[in-house]
């Protein structure tokens, strides 16, 4: 086993951690929920443990993205390639998100998604996170350190690209400084692996804290919405991505999904594409064979702007809310939903429940009441976990396709199993 390989039996241990977390937390939720022990276990075991684990993952995101992007770009032999990678990446991200929300609307229409008839929980809408204007401005921060301190991923990507290009052009002058960045990148990869070896415990706590609070009823009173949403998410994940991998890159989807298991589990348990970046980056580079100059750009950008799962939720939630309040959406409004879902997915932060907040932007612009979001909040926790897994698998799919088209995919590594 090399110093940089993943912890042994990670998937199995993470699954065991998840199952134990659910089991023990349900015991508390259903049988010991009035005890003082309940409060203690919820706060100091599950919540604290889960938060510490998420913090550890987030801790490495910024340096990892910076060093891998800088070392990837500084080793590029020609800069035109960078432009071509960026154009394809962004084009494909917009395309997959558009496809995702359109699929959701078609399924919603075919299955005649109907509204809610019970009592509506109260909800105070929060203003949507970021307009297109703000998002563009975030790409160009006015303070390098500000971007890093604020975890502004698009700004960090921009600064890293700029730095990488300058390093590339001055490598001789600086005595081969790019090698030092390469080495630092290796150190951060090792940190990711060290953190990942605690994943089974981290995931145990995260799952436990969800179940302690909400129990096991993931459906609430919204069975049709929940089932249809899960169905479309799985459809997009398995059918759309498989077809894209096969037709755009002639890659075997089964191998892809097998290697993405851990990434999907991390995304599921953290509900955050951003916190999953370290794991996605490592898997896509080391197991799927995408070279670092592609993965180090495509993955952090994808985690920030590409959210197919979120777009699917937003499409179906808008239909569901329209039907609840008795509004018949017109064809123009459907087109508006597709366009807005693409734009909001760019502005949605890659953290838990962010998509539910930006849903307000879509509802507002098609004239639906924002407080109707209260309807879907009860079931949003589990749906967020599933859609985040879809979001990160979408990022990985696009990185394989872009890498293949740029001759930057090592198919030997992609096809190697076991």
Distance between CA atoms of residues 380 and 376, nearest Å:
6
Site string for ligand ASP, 307-346 (x = CB under 6 A): x--x------------------------------------
Shortest distance (Å) from residue 391 CB to ligand ASP: 4
271 touching ligand ASP, by CB under 6 A: yes
Nearer to ligand ASP, 70 or 311 (CB): 311
Q: Specify whether the CB–CB gap between 132 and 347 falls below 8 A.
A: yes
Site string for ligand ASP, 389-408 (x = CB under 6 A): --x-----------------
Nearer to ligand ASP, 150 or 406 (CB): 150
Nearer to ligand ASP, 42 or 384 (CB): 384
Alpha carbon of residue 267 to chain centroid: 6
Shortest distance (Å) from residue 375 CB to ligand ASP: 16
Q: Specify whether the CB–CB gap between 101 and 315 falls below 8 A.
A: yes
Shortest distance (Å) from residue 203 CB to ligand ASP: 16
Shortest distance (Å) from residue 389 CB to ligand ASP: 9
Angle value at C-alpha 165, between 162 and 170, nearest 5 degrees: 125
Nearer to ligand ASP, 202 or 289 (CB): 202
247-to-208, 252, 397 alpha-carbon distances in Å: 40, 10, 12
Nearer to ligand ASP, 201 or 275 (CB): 275
φ, ψ (nearest 5 deg) of residue 294: -90, -55
Shortest distance (Å) from residue 179 CB to ligand ASP: 34
Angle value at C-alpha 297, between 310 and 232, nearest 5 degrees: 20
Site string for ligand ASP, 360-389 (x = CB under 6 A): ------------------------x--xx-
Distance between CA atoms of residues 48 and 274, nearest Å:
19
Q: Specify whether the CB–CB gap between 283 and 263 falls below 8 A.
A: yes
Nearer to ligand ASP, 70 or 264 (CB): 264
Distance between CA atoms of residues 262 and 364, nearest Å:
37
355 touching ligand ASP, by CB under 6 A: yes
Greatest Cα pair distance in the chain? 70
- Which parts of 202-314 are beta strand (E)? none
Shortest distance (Å) from residue 195 CB to ligand ASP: 18
Shortest distance (Å) from residue 65 CB to ligand ASP: 15
Shortest distance (Å) from residue 102 CB to ligand ASP: 18
Report the run of H or E that residue 148 belongs to, with start and end: helix 144-149
Q: Specify whether the CB–CB gap between 106 and 217 falls below 8 A.
A: no
Number of residues that bind ligand ASP (CB under 6 A): 16
151 touching ligand ASP, by CB under 6 A: no
What is the SS3 assignment for 126?
coil
353 touching ligand ASP, by CB under 6 A: yes
Distance between CA atoms of residues 148 and 160, nearest Å:
10
CA atoms within 13 A on the CB side of 225: 29
Positions in the binding site for ligand ASP (CB under 6 A): 271-273, 307, 310, 348, 350-355, 384, 387-388, 391
């Amino acid at each position: 086993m090399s110093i940089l390989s993943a912890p042994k039996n990670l998937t199995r241990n993470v699954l065991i951690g998840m199952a134990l977390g659910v089991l023990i937390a349900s015991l508390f939720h259903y049988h010991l929920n009035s005890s003082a022990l309940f409060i203690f276990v919820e706060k100091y075991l599950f919540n604290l443990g889960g938060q510490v684990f998420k913090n550890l993952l987030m801790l490495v995101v910024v340096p990892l993205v910076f060093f891998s992007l800088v070392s990837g770009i500084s080793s590029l032999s020609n800069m035109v390639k960078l432009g071509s990678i960026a154009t394809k990446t962004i084009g494909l991200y917009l395309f997959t998100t558009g496809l995702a929300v359109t699929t959701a609307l078609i399924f919603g229409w075919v299955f005649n998604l109907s509204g809610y008839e019970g009592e509506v929980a109260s909800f105070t809408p929060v203003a949507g996170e970021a307009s297109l204007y703000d998002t563009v401005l975030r790409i160009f921060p006015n303070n390098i350190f500000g971007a890093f301190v604020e975890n502004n991923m698009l700004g960090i990507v921009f600064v890293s690209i700029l730095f990488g290009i300058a390093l590339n052009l001055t490598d001789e002058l600086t005595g081969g400084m790019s090698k030092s960045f390469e080495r630092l990148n290796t150190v951060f990869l090792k940190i990711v692996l060290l953190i990942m070896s605690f994943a089974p415990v981290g995931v145990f706590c995260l799952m436990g804290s969800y179940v302690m609070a909400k129990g096991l009823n993931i459906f609430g009173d919204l069975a049709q919405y929940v089932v249809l949403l899960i169905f479309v998410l799985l459809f997009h994940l398995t059918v759309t991505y498989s077809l894209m991998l096969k037709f755009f890159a002639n890659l075997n989807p089964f191998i892809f999904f097998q290697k993405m298991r851990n990434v999907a589990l991390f995304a599921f348990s953290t509900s955050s594409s951003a916190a999953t970046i370290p794991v996605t980056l490592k898997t896509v580079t080391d197991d799927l064979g995408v070279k670092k100059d592609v993965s180090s750009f495509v993955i952090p950008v994808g985690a920030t702007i590409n959210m197919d799962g979120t777009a699917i939720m937003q499409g179906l939630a808008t239909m569901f809310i329209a039907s609840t309040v008795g509004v018949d959406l017109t064809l123009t409004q459907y087109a508006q939903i597709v366009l807005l879902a693409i734009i909001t997915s760019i502005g949605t932060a890659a953290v838990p429940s962010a998509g539910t907040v930006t849903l307000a932007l879509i509802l507002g612009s098609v004239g639906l009441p924002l407080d109707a979001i209260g309807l879907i909040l009860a079931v949003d926790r589990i749906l967020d976990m599933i859609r985040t897994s879809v979001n990160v698998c979408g990022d990985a799919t696009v990185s394989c396709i872009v890498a293949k088209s740029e001759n930057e995919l090592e198919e030997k590594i992609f096809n190697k199993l076991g």
